[in-house]
């Protein structure tokens, strides 16, 4: 009996020793990260207007930047807002796939495309804000990837709005050019954003903003036009469609988010006070996430309830739309790759 008791005590002692080693194991697995630095301690390319502290050190290991996911710095909220939203989109996709056959139902393919495009832009954005601080080349590479995601989402939204939300009258007016123009404007957005980012220190501030904002604004005006026409028609005739309210909120949240994207408020009014929380770009991220979730919910319901209308309007156009989506994605990716090579060559010349 005494032997058994001693064995149990010995096991408890060993377990206690192992428990005492857990903090050391965690410390070795998650080492203490270097402190964030001030704006004067990072190269010019990483500096954001009115953000004075909270920058991460450059030229660290990739492991360091992945671990900064759990560190407080001036990009933390930007990473987590879009990372969590991307996971929500995955959950929604899984939920929808239980009742929708994305592979065999051609009319479900635009819905799958907009879900894929939403996940792409959210995850690429999270990667850009998480990993871009490693080096100048990494900065441009990941933000170009972010712009590819934005452009893909632009076309995905245009396709879904055209397919599910459009009314017969607007369809007859735009069917000859809508999708092809949306694809071109999505590519133009990618090119404008990439080149604007690449040349932003050599361009006046207004020119840099024009390159990034004007193509996106043109694309949005076209992409959202089926929704705006539907909202107008609904309220003109005495609106009784509950889904239209989702589209209304979707538009409102996007327009408010566009303001915070273009104007660095409130940090411009309170320099150094919004370095970690409260930046205009963080507000933009939150509003865009709400906008996207509203859009997905509206399109999901339209897919279910408006099927007789869009089947009659579109026929088998979904197959052509999928091909154009792939083509647009490839064009945007190649454009980003080309501008990245220009950046790499420029950085190499600078070192020489």
**Which residue, 67, 44, 215, 64, is CA-closest to 139?**
44
Alpha carbon 163 to chain centroid, angstroms:
22
Tokens of 262: 């273009």
285 is in an annotated binding site: yes
What gap in Å lies between CA 59 and CA 133, rounded to an integer?
8
Pair 52, 271: CB distance under 8 Å: yes
**Which residue, 284, 245, 318, 323, is CA-closest to 150?**
284
DSSP characters over 232-254: HHHHHT----THHHHHHHHHHHH
265 is in an annotated binding site: no
What gap in Å lies between CA 33 and CA 37, rounded to an integer?
12
DSSP characters over 245-305: HHHHHHHHHHHHHHHHHHS-TTTTTSTTTSSSS--HHHHHHHHHHHHHHHHHHHHHHHHHH
- Residues in a beta bridge with 55: 37
281 is in an annotated binding site: yes
**Binding site: what residues are annotated?**
129, 281, 285
Residue numbers in the known binding site for Zn(2+) are 129, 281, 285
């Amino acid at each position: 009996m005494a032997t058994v008791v001693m064995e149990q005590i010995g096991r408890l002692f060993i377990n206690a020793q192992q428990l005492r080693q857990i903090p050391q194991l965690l410390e070795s697995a998650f080492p203490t990260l270097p402190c964030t630095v001030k704006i004067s301690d990072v190269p010019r390319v990483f500096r954001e207007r009115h953000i004075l502290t909270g920058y991460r050190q450059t030229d660290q290991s990739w492991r360091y930047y992945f671990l900064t996911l759990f560190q407080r710095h001036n990009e933390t909220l930007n990473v987590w807002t879009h990372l969590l939203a991307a996971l929500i989109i995955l959950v929604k996709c899984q939920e929808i796939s239980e009742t929708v056959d994305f592979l065999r139902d051609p009319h479900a393919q635009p819905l799958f495309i907009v879900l894929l495009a939403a996940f792409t832009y959210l995850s690429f954005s999270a990667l850009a804000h998480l990993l871009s601080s490693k080096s100048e080349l990494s900065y441009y590479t990941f933000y170009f990837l972010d712009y590819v995601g934005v452009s893909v989402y632009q076309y995905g939204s245009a396709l879904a709005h055209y397919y599910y939300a459009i009314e017969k009258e607007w369809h007859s007016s735009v069917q000859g050019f809508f999708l092809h123009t949306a694809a071109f404007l999505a590519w133009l957005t990618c090119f404008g954003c990439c080149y604007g980012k690449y040349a932003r220190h050599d361009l006046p501030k207004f020119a840099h903003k024009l390159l990034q904002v004007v193509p996106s604004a043109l694309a949005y005006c076209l992409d959202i036009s089926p929704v705006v026409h539907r909202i107008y028609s609904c309220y003109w005739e005495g609106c009784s469609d509950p889904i239209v309210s989702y589209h209304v909120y979707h538009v409102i949240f996007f327009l408010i988010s566009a303001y915070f994207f273009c104007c660095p408020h409130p940090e411009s009014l309170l320099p150094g006070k919004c370095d970690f929380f409260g930046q205009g770009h963080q507000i933009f991220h939150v509003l865009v996430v709400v906008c996207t979730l509203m859009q997905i919910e509206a399109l999901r319901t339209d897919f279910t309830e408006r099927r007789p209308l869009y089947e009659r309007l579109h026929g088998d156009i979904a197959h052509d739309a999928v091909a154009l989506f792939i083509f647009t994605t490839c064009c945007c990716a190649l454009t980003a790759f080309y501008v990245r090579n220009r950046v790499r060559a420029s950085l190499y010349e600078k070192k020489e």
